[in-house]
Amino acid sequence: MNIDFNKNSDGLVPVIIQDTTTKNVLMLGYMNEEALKVTKDTKKVTFYSRTKNRLWTKGEESGNFLNLVDIKLDCDNDTLLIQVNPVGPTCHKGTDTCWAEANAENFGFISKLEHTIESRVKAGNAEKSYVASLFASGINKVAQKVGEEAVEVVIEAMDNDDELFLNESADLLFHYLMLLQAKGFKLENVVNILKGREKK
């Protein structure tokens, strides 16, 4: 890894810190050669603090360490991407990230859909919301709907209409997300089980 520490007059390179699991960006810091060496040796991310004018290991006072997983160098050899397993919140203000965002497992549109389902259930307007009306019918009805959609997916899988198959698959996934919430879970809980089954 040929890092260009001489590109800037202060000998520092910017370091982007990313959660290795959620892929969320947690913070931005700076390193010199010594900080990088300490990070590699201790497996705890250490920066060069421009305000303290010294090496600073994240978590040295709070205990909220950034445990090193991987280091990547950008195409210009002057910026690092460091993937970590964070211990506790990253920001000194007590938030998960320095942008005050939650560092939760993020599945993009699926996460957005989960939030939509949750908000519709909380609103409870069964007359205007399909989600609210199905939840109001009880968990047995939600589970039954998942079963119905699963059967339809199987039927369409044996046919040659890809559009119908994909539409039924979307219906199944949507209702499965609803069933998870009806049981008090989210997709993240299922993914964590799958991760636990992964062969190392």
pLDDT digits (tens, 9 = 90+) for 1-23: 899 999 999 999 999 999 998 88
pLDDT digits (tens, 9 = 90+) for 45-72: 999 999 999 999 999 999 999 999 999 9
Are 63 and 145 within one domain? no
Are 192 and 122 within one domain? yes
The pLDDT of 102-130, averaged and rounded, is 87
Q: Does 8 fall in a domain?
A: no
Are 82 and 137 within one domain? no
Confidence of residue 200 (pLDDT cuts 50, 70, 90): low
Q: Does 172 fall in a domain?
A: yes
Distance (Å, rounded) from C-alpha 66 to C-alpha 19? Answer: 9
Q: Does 99 fall in a domain?
A: no
Q: Residue 117 is part of a domain; what is its CATH number?
A: 1.10.287.1080
Half-sphere exposure of 43 (CA within 13 A, CB side): 4
pTM: 0.65
Q: Does 74 fall in a domain?
A: yes
Alpha helices in the chain (DSSP H): 33-42, 109-123, 130-136, 139-157, 162-182, 187-197
47, 29 contact by CB (below 8 A): yes
Residue 116 is part of which domain span?
Answer: 109-199
Q: What's the structural domain count of the chain?
A: 2
Q: Residue 33 is part of a domain; what is its CATH number?
A: 3.10.20.810
Are 70 and 128 within one domain? no
The last residue of a domain, from among 86, 121, 140: 86
